[in-house]
Amino acid sequence: MVFRRYTDVNATLALLKNKAISFTKPATWFDKNDGAGLALYAQRMGAADVFGFCLTGAKETSHHWQLFSGHSHGVCILFKRKMLIDQFKSDHRVCHGNVQYLNVNELRKIYPVDDNVLPFLKRNTFAMRENIELYRQAYFPALRHSNSRSSSIQSAGSS
Predicted confidence at residue 129, as pLDDT, reads 56
- SS3 string of the chain? CEEEEEEEHHHHHHHHHHCEEEEECHHHCCCHHHHHHHHHHHHHHCCCCEEEEECECCCCCHHHHHHHCCCCCEEEEEEEHHHHHHHCCCCCCEEEEECEEECHHHHHHHCCCCCCCHHHEEEHHHHHHCCCEEEEEEECHHHCCCCCCEEEEECCCEC
Per-residue pLDDT of the chain (159 residues; tens, 9 = 90+): 888 988 889 889 999 999 888 888 888 887 787 888 888 888 888 888 888 888 888 888 887 777 777 677 899 999 998 898 888 888 877 888 888 888 889 988 988 889 888 888 888 876 655 444 444 454 544 333 333 444 554 443 433
**CB atoms < 10 A from the CB of 112, how many?**
6
Predicted confidence at residue 77, as pLDDT, reads 92
Q: Which of 20, 14, 22, 9 is nearest to 148 (CA)?
A: 22
> How many whole angstroms separate alpha carbon 13 and alpha carbon 17?
6
How far is CA 138 from its chain centroid? 9
> How many whole angstroms separate alpha carbon 97 and alpha carbon 137?
10
pTM (2 d.p.): 0.75
User: How many residues does this entry show for the chain?
Assistant: 159
Predicted confidence at residue 128, as pLDDT, reads 58
Predicted confidence at residue 25, as pLDDT, reads 85
List all residues 6 or more positions away from 61 whose beta carbon is below 8 Å from its beta carbon. Answer: 128, 129
